[in-house]
Structure 1
Amino acid sequence: MSKRMDGRADSNGRVYQASGDQHIVEHHHHNEMGSVAWEGIESVRHPTGGRAPVVLRDRTELMERLQAAVAPEAGNQVYVLHGMGGCGKTAVARTLFQYATTDGNRVGLWVNAADRTSLRSGMLAVAADMGATEGELIAARNGLRAPADLVWDRLGSSARPWLLVLDNADDPEILQDGGWLRVSPRGTVLVTTRRAAARWWLHAELHHVGVLPREAAAQVLCDLAPESGTMEEAAEIADRLGRLPLALTLAGGFLSHQVIDPWTMTRYGHHLGGHGHVDFIDQGAIALAREDARHLITRTWQLSLDALAGRGMQESTALLRLLACYGADPLPITLLNTPQINGVVPQARAEVALRGLLDQSLTAVVDVGVRCLQTHAVLLASVAASTPREQVTELTGTAALLLAAHVPAIPQRGPQDPRMRLLAPHVIALLRNSTEASVVAETLDVAVRLTCALHRTGDYLSAWELASAAVAGAEPELGREHRLVLSAHSRTGRALFRLGRFEESEAVLRSVLADREKLFGPDDPDTLDSYFGINPPLQELGRVAEGIALLRRAMDGRERVLGRQHPLTLQAQAHLLECLPIAELVLEVDNAEMPLPQECALHLGPQHAVTLGARLSYAVALFRLGRFDAAVLDARLVAEDYQRRHGPDYALTLSAQHLSARARAALGDMDSAVELMVVVAHRREQSLGAEHPYTVQSYELLEEYRAQAAAHLTD
């Protein structure tokens, strides 16, 4: 074949290119997950916004309007609940959700819309719930088709009417940027947000959710702690708490859990004035006409912590302050079950401390496929603002260590630990909450590793967003020239490449390369990694010779610095086999003292990932040299090994089978080539999507082989 075929790769990919009559079209994805079942972790059929209210007080008129919105045949409308944090927007949404899924006979779908990653992950889980295929979902995650289009196509074809709740949408830009907020005649959308500006919610019906009327607020306290006092006493407490539902919930949780020495509401009221106000920003919220209730949250949780301390659970205070270092998204509970927590709370006491917080309604357990804690954002902000300054460094440092303990130092290929994606918003929150350079650096190191883990599972959009956000959070503190900042930029560039933004990828990676050369020198491992990593976008942009030159520099430098037998040196040498000019390739293959796969097996072991990759690269080299019988044998054997290790949908399994089919076709065995290419094309469509270039290429070759097979029959 003489026509040009597009090749794409990144630091873990391969590109085979040549001109003239060479048969050089193949694509591989190294160090990435193949086709796997959808790993959606969100329990989209259940609300994740904390506990439901015992009884939803007041809100009668609002609930009547919203219940009408989920009546039979109702749909094609967006409703927005707006108000300051803690005013009960999520409680209203939960109540409607329960009504819609029972009395309304609707499918209920709940998505956390607090940040881009959570929103996309949740919405794709909605698509999966609505019947999207595995291939469609993976293509959307990889950025190969518009994720929002897939979600809304599935929602629009739902057999049952639905209610979709987008909770905590306090950054409306992310809904607009991705085209996530739409309408459908099959369902109703309910949004909760602090942002009330009409420009964000065109054509939506807006409803303000404010504080409760006096009587309803008093009743909330009586619902939660019915033995603590009269309605009038409850009303006085409610007034002092600004009648803010979150503050009332915290106060009621406190009163209901005093067992040895129960408190009355009167006694509680006497203690409310003993704690100072803490002013924190509730951005985008509408201020209250009377005393700003944002100042009042501190009073409630501080009394709860004092009571816990009086019962011998002083560690609950430290644990809550530790949680305040993170974000309001679900936080995997296992994070707290590691020795690194000893810097703040003795690990043996973490369980007791957490039970105290749960008893006082200061946090809640939610199940999103992984058991997590979720704490109200307003409460976290209040706790963080009141934390003594001398404790901040120790708290944020411990928070960073806990994250570091849960993110692998060297992320591996294969199915992702579902906790990884859940950690991303907390890494970014910790970067925002940290001011000590050492803590920022530790957290950025976690972010870089986590980005790599997401990338290697094919979640390129999340990897790009995490890397970009990490750079934005850390660079002001550490500076552009910090080694970890440059690593985060590099991860951004590699994710951009996988998203098909080749020019942007090359620009970012070239800038990183220039900085690394200047700061660290040409033989630094990070600089060598840049030589290696920039080759793929250069190949894609047609700058083949430049890419090969930098790849050679990577291999030579790694050999000098790391040694001839180091996995990274051997990996770079294998990649060179895939793009060297034919004349050089002949010398490289025929003059070697030992074939590269054997050398890798000798030094790394026969099942090492680099050994398997070298075997596939060597098979490609044989194919390029026209040694088709040997190429068929090597490609078949390595395909079998990949399938045993990673399954039939694994990207390298398919790449090896693809190569085997091409070699069989070159030998004239068109029936075998067609049979094998049918499998490859179908599995690539399922794992990559119908529009992925590798899928398109496989189907083009399939049609070519079928035509040749038919021509042979007519001859």
Structure 2
Amino acid sequence: MSSGNNAWAEGQGRVFQASGDQHIIEQHYYGANWTGPDTVRRPSVGRAPVVLRDRSGEMDRLRVGIEPGVGNCVYVLHGLGGCGKTAVAYALFQDATGQAGRIGLWVNASDSASLRAGMLAVAADRGASDGELMGARSGLRPAADLVWHYLDHSDQPWLLVLDNADDPTILRDGGWLRTSPTGTVVVTTRQAAAHWWPGAELLQFGVLPREEAALVLHDLAPHAGSVEDAAAVADRLGRLPLALTLAGGFLAHQVINPWTLADYGHQLGGNAGLDPIELIDQGAVAVGGDSRHLLSRTWQLSLDALATQGLPEAGRLLRLLSCWANDPLPLSTLSGAELGPELPDSHVESALRGLLDHSLSELVSREIRCLRTHGVLLDSVARTTPADQREQLAATASRLLLAALPEVPDRGAQEPHVNLLAPHVIALLRRAINWAVSQPTMEAAAECAHRIATAVHRSGDYTSALALSSEAVELVAPRLGKENVSVIRLRQRVGRALFRLGRFEESEALHREVLEICERTLGAEEPDTLETCLKLSAPLVNLNREADALSLIRRAVEGRIRLFGAEHPLTVLARTSLLAQSINPEDIAADSALVTECYRQFGENHPLTLRVELDYAYALRRSGNPTGSLPHIRAAFAGHVQRFGLDYPITLNARSTLTAVLTALGRHAEAIEHAEALVEGRTRVLGPEHPWTLRAQELLHQNRRAQSGT
């Protein structure tokens, strides 16, 4: 045969061409070609919980959906990755297939391929033929319609779990999520936005209560320590079920020199050079070990999904949030949170919405609107933040806090958002140190600490002010040095808080050391040096060393007059301190004009005016003129009560002076009334052992003795 052969084939057709005689044998083998999951009758989970802790309310609501005759129900379990949604679905699955007598069907819905294969396996389980399944797989018939046809016609009631459905578009676009009168559907997801789940009942999942979180650890590692030890570690882990499970699995599987829970908690602090997140992840072997069971990776799945959806800036915002703490953060703090082209101001709102929708953060209902992000998540994000982004993030976090904190807080109660920022300031200091940011950024963070410590101090909470300023000094001083102005100012705040708490000797010692540093590094006439002089005088007065105190006060007054002028508020503060220590009637008469100046310059209810009138009344009493003091102290006390309330520490000081004046005038009945209120107030505010509380008690006893004539 000399002519050519032309041929073609379509579809599965075949063409065989040959020249001459050929013997062709074609063999066809038909067999299983299944590419779906091995089973949909068993939950595909790493490690089932030993006992499902807490979640009793959620389980009660879900069990309604598996009661006899119940169908057409969809429950969506949503929350942060690792918060135990799958564990609850697993527990419900066991109840459904056990005592409820339902068929249980479990499908991995984390991606389109797994969902499709799993749902077709469900159809096969419910009776779909090989031909129908092949048609659905090849696209010759709608796959979702086939699955739901067989679910609707199931001869037994069922529970279908769609696990890890973090991308709802997969369910919606394929029509995979429906209802059926013969069964109930449970979806686990990180996607919290309600618009994805019309008609479904949404159940939000968060962290566990402290006692239940401790029991999770104790269930997994009962020999590692007591329940109290487990509770302490659970707090360090933020009571997140995944973190608890990983930690318990790690402790339970150690062979050589097993750790106790106390050992584990110590290591979580990073004190031995171990990265806490890496340490937690070591327990993943006990729970399956895939990326969903690694703290270092589980949240990246959500960020990857956000980037795919066109919101890469959500990851940038989360890195900014990682500069702060996991405590509630006032949403107003994020005003102006732009980070350049990666997070322009116009995209902050959409980035935040993305974090909320994917359960990476949550809104908290409080007096003011707040945002809260889990601490382990923040630490995990911070450790993977690229080094070249850290400086800008820390600088921006400092800038936002400085904008939210008052530069010069008033005395008295602060705005509600201010106290909420305290943990975020300390967290920022820690993050800035760990990230080794530049000195200007470190100083900006230290200024945040100074402002929050000042605000808390002026609210009257001296114990918290001492804790804040002391911790800030401990963090900042090794990095910036004791001679840095930011450290000097923080140490001044420590000294002030020590004084107010009655620890006069400690306050004196600290202020003397700070004064020596100021004189040596800043100069004798610098504002910070003069401020230290003035604050050192306060404990000296209470230690009965008034001559030394007066010398320091005069130095501060003269220096401030030269720097600022006689009527500057800082100068007035120094002048009124000098007035309070005056006992010479001529000096007091000369300084009486200061009261008039304050009324004219600041107004009668201004804190500085009230302070001057109080000190003037105090000086008149000490100089032996209680009659002249009485109208001024009554006015000062009434003004403090009106502006600050009865329990404010300076109001109590005013009541103390009023009591002393009444005592000096022999008006013991009224003096006793005020002395009793003074003892009660100072005991409540400062404690029963504070020197000023003891003085109030002695003043009360003095008046009672005088009234009884004994």
| 1:241-640 equivalence runs, <5 A | 252=164, 254-256=166-168, 281-282=276-277, 285=280, 287-288=282-283, 290=285, 296-336=294-334, 338-341=335-338, 343=340, 345-367=343-365, 370-434=368-432, 435-580=437-582, 582=583, 585-591=584-590, 595-640=593-638
User: Contact 1:447/1:470 (CA < 8 Å) preserved in 2?
Assistant: yes
Q: Could you tell me how far apart the structure 2 residues matched to 1:222 and 1:398 are?
A: 46
Determine what percentage of the aligned residue pairs are the same residue.
39
Distance 1:312 1:623, change over 3 A: same
Q: Which amino acid aligns with 1:321?
A: R
How far 1:98 moved relative to its partner?
Answer: 8.5
Q: Which amino acid aligns with 2:598?
A: C
How far 1:607 moved relative to its partner?
Answer: 3.2
How far 1:512 moved relative to its partner?
Answer: 1.2
Q: Which residue of 2 aligns with 1:663?
A: 661
Q: Which residue of 1 aligns with 2:65?
A: none
Which SS does the other structure have where 1:534 is aligned? helix
- In our comparison, the structure showing a higher alpha carbon Rg is 2
Q: TM-score, normalised by structure 1?
A: 0.60
Q: Could you tell me how far apart the structure 1 residues matched to 2:559 and 2:404 are?
A: 32
User: Contact 1:340/1:398 (CA < 8 Å) preserved in 2?
Assistant: yes
How far 1:559 moved relative to its partner?
Answer: 1.1
Q: Could you tell me how far apart the structure 2 residues matched to 1:644 and 1:469 are?
A: 34
How far 1:612 moved relative to its partner?
Answer: 1.6
Which SS does the other structure have where 2:364 is aligned? strand
How far 1:399 moved relative to its partner?
Answer: 1.0
User: Contact 1:531/1:550 (CA < 8 Å) preserved in 2?
Assistant: yes
Q: Which amino acid aligns with 2:473?
A: V
Superimposed CA distance per residue, residues 602-659 of structure 1 (whole angstroms, 9 cap, x where no aligned partner): 3434333222211111111111222222111221122222233233444444433433
Superimposed CA distance per residue, residues 474-505 of structure 1 (whole angstroms, 9 cap, x where no aligned partner): 23332322110111122122222333333332
Q: Could you tell me how far apart the structure 1 residues matched to 2:398 and 2:692 are?
A: 40
Q: Could you tell me how far apart the structure 2 residues matched to 1:658 and 1:513 are?
A: 31
Superimposed CA distance per residue, residues 138-186 of structure 1 (whole angstroms, 9 cap, x where no aligned partner): xxxxxxxxxxxxxxxxxxxxxxxxxxxxxxxxxxxxxxxxxxxxxxxxx
How far 1:664 moved relative to its partner?
Answer: 2.9
Q: Which amino acid aligns with 2:320?
A: L
How far 1:312 moved relative to its partner?
Answer: 3.0
Distance 1:381 1:624, change over 3 A: closer
Which SS does the other structure have where 2:283 is aligned? coil
Superimposed CA distance per residue, residues 415-471 of structure 1 (whole angstroms, 9 cap, x where no aligned partner): 233433332222222222221222111111010110111111222232222222222
Q: Which amino acid aligns with 2:498?
A: L
Q: Aligned residue pairs: how many?
A: 488
User: Contact 1:470/1:488 (CA < 8 Å) preserved in 2?
Assistant: yes
User: Contact 1:639/1:652 (CA < 8 Å) preserved in 2?
Assistant: no
Q: Which amino acid aligns with 2:336?
A: P
User: Contact 1:218/1:231 (CA < 8 Å) preserved in 2?
Assistant: no
Superimposed CA distance per residue, residues 285-325 of structure 1 (whole angstroms, 9 cap, x where no aligned partner): 48337359799445443343333233332321211111122
Q: Could you tell me how far apart the structure 2 residues matched to 1:447 and 1:520 are?
A: 21
User: Contact 1:414/1:646 (CA < 8 Å) preserved in 2?
Assistant: yes
Q: Which residue of 1 aligns with 2:7?
A: none
Q: How big is the alpha-carbon RMSD for the aligned residues of Structure 1 and Structure 2?
A: 4.1
Stretches of structure 1 lacking an aligned partner (at least 5 in a row): 1-55, 64-91, 101-208, 235-250, 269-278
Distance 1:652 1:538, change over 3 A: closer
Q: Could you tell me how far apart the structure 1 residues matched to 2:535 and 2:469 are?
A: 16
User: Contact 2:110/2:164 (CA < 8 Å) preserved in 1?
Assistant: no
| 1:8-157 equivalence runs, <5 A | 61-63=50-52, 92=53, 95=55
Q: Could you tell me how far apart the structure 2 residues matched to 1:98 and 1:458 are?
A: 43
Q: TM-score, normalised by structure 2?
A: 0.61
How far 1:516 moved relative to its partner?
Answer: 0.9
Superimposed CA distance per residue, residues 675-702 of structure 1 (whole angstroms, 9 cap, x where no aligned partner): 4434444444454444444344334323
Q: Could you tell me how far apart the structure 2 residues matched to 1:494 and 1:223 are?
A: 63
Q: Which amino acid aligns with 1:586?
A: P
Which SS does the other structure have where 1:365 is aligned? strand
Distance 1:668 1:463, change over 3 A: closer
Q: Could you tell me how far apart the structure 2 residues matched to 1:711 and 1:367 are?
A: 59
Superimposed CA distance per residue, residues 25-56 of structure 1 (whole angstroms, 9 cap, x where no aligned partner): xxxxxxxxxxxxxxxxxxxxxxxxxxxxxxx9
Q: Could you tell me how far apart the structure 1 residues matched to 2:621 and 2:632 are?
A: 10
Distance 1:99 1:467, change over 3 A: farther
Q: Which amino acid aligns with 1:589?
A: I
Which SS does the other structure have where 1:373 is aligned? strand
Distance 1:280 1:666, change over 3 A: closer
How far 1:378 moved relative to its partner?
Answer: 3.2
How far 1:58 moved relative to its partner?
Answer: 6.8
Which SS does the other structure have where 1:412 is aligned? coil
Q: Which amino acid aligns with 2:547?
A: A
Q: Could you tell me how far apart the structure 2 residues matched to 1:280 and 1:295 are?
A: 17
User: Contact 1:589/1:595 (CA < 8 Å) preserved in 2?
Assistant: no
Distance 1:319 1:614, change over 3 A: same
How far 1:554 moved relative to its partner?
Answer: 1.1
Stretches of structure 2 lacking an aligned partner (at least 5 in a row): 1-44, 61-83, 95-103, 120-162, 177-188, 190-273
Q: Which amino acid aligns with 2:588?
A: V
Q: Comparing both chains, which one has the higher relative contact order based on Cα–Cα distances under 8 Å and sequence gaps of 6 or more? A: 1
User: Contact 1:253/1:361 (CA < 8 Å) preserved in 2?
Assistant: no
Q: Could you tell me how far apart the structure 2 residues matched to 1:526 and 1:431 are?
A: 23
User: Contact 1:280/1:381 (CA < 8 Å) preserved in 2?
Assistant: no
Q: Which amino acid aligns with 1:634?
A: H
How far 1:524 moved relative to its partner?
Answer: 0.6
Task: State which drifts further: 495-504 or 213-222.
Answer: 213-222
Q: Could you tell me how far apart the structure 1 residues matched to 2:454 and 2:108 are?
A: 46
Superimposed CA distance per residue, residues 108-149 of structure 1 (whole angstroms, 9 cap, x where no aligned partner): xxxxxxxxxxxxxxxxxxxxxxxxxxxxxxxxxxxxxxxxxx
Q: Which residue of 2 aligns with 1:53?
A: none
Q: Could you tell me how far apart the structure 1 residues matched to 2:647 and 2:454 are?
A: 21
Distance 1:95 1:630, change over 3 A: same
Q: Could you tell me how far apart the structure 2 residues matched to 1:261 and 1:564 are?
A: 75
